[in-house]
Amino acid sequence: ISLVACTVSAQEYGWQVINTEAIPGIIDFTDISFVSQNEGWITTNTTNEIYKTNDGGTSFSTQTTEYGTQAVYALDSTHAYSGGLNGRVYYTSDGGLNWPAIGSISVTLNDLDFASSSQGYACGSSGAVFSIANGSVSNLNSPSSATLRGISTPSIDNVWVCGGSSIFYYNGSIFSGQVGPSGTFNDIHFINNQEGWVVGNVGLIAHTDDGGASWTTQTNPDTQNRSLYGVFFFDADYGWAVGVDGVILYTSNGGSTWSVVGAGLTTEALSSVHFTSSTNGYVVGNGKTLLKYGELTSIGDDEIPFDNLLFQNYPNPFNPETEISYQVSGVSKVSLSIYDIKGRLIKTLLDNIEQSGNHSVIWSGKDNDNNPVCSGIYFSRLQVGNKILTKRMVLLK
């Protein structure tokens, strides 16, 4: 998969920034859980609302809880759990029309996960770890006093939890500490009882294939070492991690190699990522940020193909200037910008209404202050409406 868009079997996939302005107020999204390609829930601790979409973020219904929520886990279209401020644990059995509290962990709940429809676990501040079973919440007497931020339970009585500098394993009876790499951990994800990943501050990524008996640090290509807040793996190969300043990392080989993807999508802190397949997923974060990865081209009997295109610049590599060409399918608001490999805006080439057809712009290798930029890797970023395409460029001097 390329940085923002790619072609697989004549289908184009890429990242989109979903417009969430219909949700009022200044809101930070905290977690996300989808049960299908288009249906899922988003939580916020800014208000006591949860947002449900049935159409991939085109529209939202507003649902309410007693207090703001940090985490959500959806079992199916009608059954889901959430929790957050004041330790409340909520459960809906009607698709979110009602979210009654079924218990409390007395402290802020940060994360929850379910091994089955009837058995789940939650963690929170002050070392709290609780079992959620048969509509009740029970304290598991964690040995930690640290703020626990991530929990993962791939099967009943196999639970991993992380926070601060600690990783713990719970076997249904007792907790045991695991020796991980040095660092501060923010989230953890296991795909089975043996293989999992943990992420944390200053770009930390670690992997285990023996149930946490040993952990191996994986190489993070982000030169800024931005802290990571969320990690999700669809299977043993495809995984994503998200964090500070809009950083998104992607791997297709279990983390043997990671790539920075989605440059320029947002500079907001990203808190959670969830994929329903290797080619369909969502990311949420501060400032009502909702990003979607999926198929950009959808052609049916009564549909018009998406044909906003960003072409590879020419020449590439280039010095001192290059031509960037693009195609617009209809009269649209168009933005074309240049970003560096760290995701920083370098140059805004255009930001206005464009007519349909083919267009081109020359970038002279200078920033917005008209200063020449250094040799290196840059990205051209075309946004047409809420569709975003990116191409990689190399400036050689």
Per-residue pLDDT tens digits for 187-210:
999 999 999 999 999 999 999 999
pLDDT of res. 48: 96
CB atoms within 10 A of CB 7: 12
Question: In the β-sheet with 322-328, what is the strand arrangement from edge to edge?
Answer: 309-310, 322-328, 357-363
Least confident of 271-280, 363-372, 374-383: 374-383
Percent of the chain with pLDDT over 70: 94
Q: Which residues in 355-378 are b (16+ Cβ under 10 Å) and which e? A: eeeebeeebebeeeeeeebeeeeb
C-alpha to C-alpha distance for 189 and 239, rounded to whole angstroms? 10
C-alpha to C-alpha distance for 161 and 284, rounded to whole angstroms? 22
- Do the beta carbons of residue 71 and residue 29 sit within 8 Å? no
* Annotated domain spans of the chain: 5-295, 309-395
Nearest to 96 by CA among 61, 66, 68: 61
| pLDDT band of 304, cuts 50, 70, 90 | very low
pLDDT of res. 163: 97
At the topology level, CATH places domain 309-395 in: Immunoglobulin-like (2.60.40)
For residues 275-302, average pLDDT: 81
C-alpha to C-alpha distance for 57 and 50, rounded to whole angstroms? 13
Which residue type sits at 378? Y
Percent of the chain with pLDDT over 90: 72
pLDDT of res. 355: 83
Nearest to 285 by CA among 39, 53, 108, 20: 20
Q: Does 8 have pLDDT greater than 70?
A: no
- Do the beta carbons of residue 84 and residue 70 sit within 8 Å? yes
Q: Is the peptide bond before 315 cis (omega within 30 degrees of 0)?
A: yes
**What SS3 state is found at 246?**
helix
CATH number given to 5-295: 2.130.10.10
Could you read off the pLDDT of 305-347 as tens digits, one per residue? 446 788 888 898 999 999 999 988 877 889 999 998 777 899 9
